[in-house]
Amino acid sequence: RAAVVMVGGLVDHAELARHGVRPAELWVALRRAGVRNVDDVGGVILEADGALTVLRERDRVDRRILVGVKGADRLPPELLDVQD
């Protein structure tokens, strides 16, 4: 099951550890996504296959895409598009 492992600039170290992911792997994913400042991060999702999906603070995400993601309710409301 996918899980939120970072909200804004705050890393959920417990969730990373639960999935056997080192913080260094998170930082690599952020750099690869072009992130230069943690203030630009809206959230990071650890996917079921182990991939890390970076959501930028300026991005807007359809709430339906987050169905089933553990901790999605912790993502900033301004990151989420309003959908019926």
Q: What is the mean pLDDT of residues 58-84?
A: 89
Say if residue 81's pLDDT is above 90: no
- pTM of the prediction? 0.92
Tell me the HSE value of 23 on the side-chain side, using a 13 A CA sphere: 6
Determine the 3-state secondary structure of 39 from DSSP: helix
Q: Which CATH superfamily is domain 3-81 in?
A: bsu07140 like domains (3.30.240.20)
As separate numbers, helices (DSSP H) first and strands (DSSP E) second, the chain gives 2, 6
Tens-place pLDDT, residues 21-45 = 999 999 999 999 999 999 999 999 9
Determine the 3-state secondary structure of 28 from DSSP: helix
Q: Where are the domains of the chain?
A: 3-81
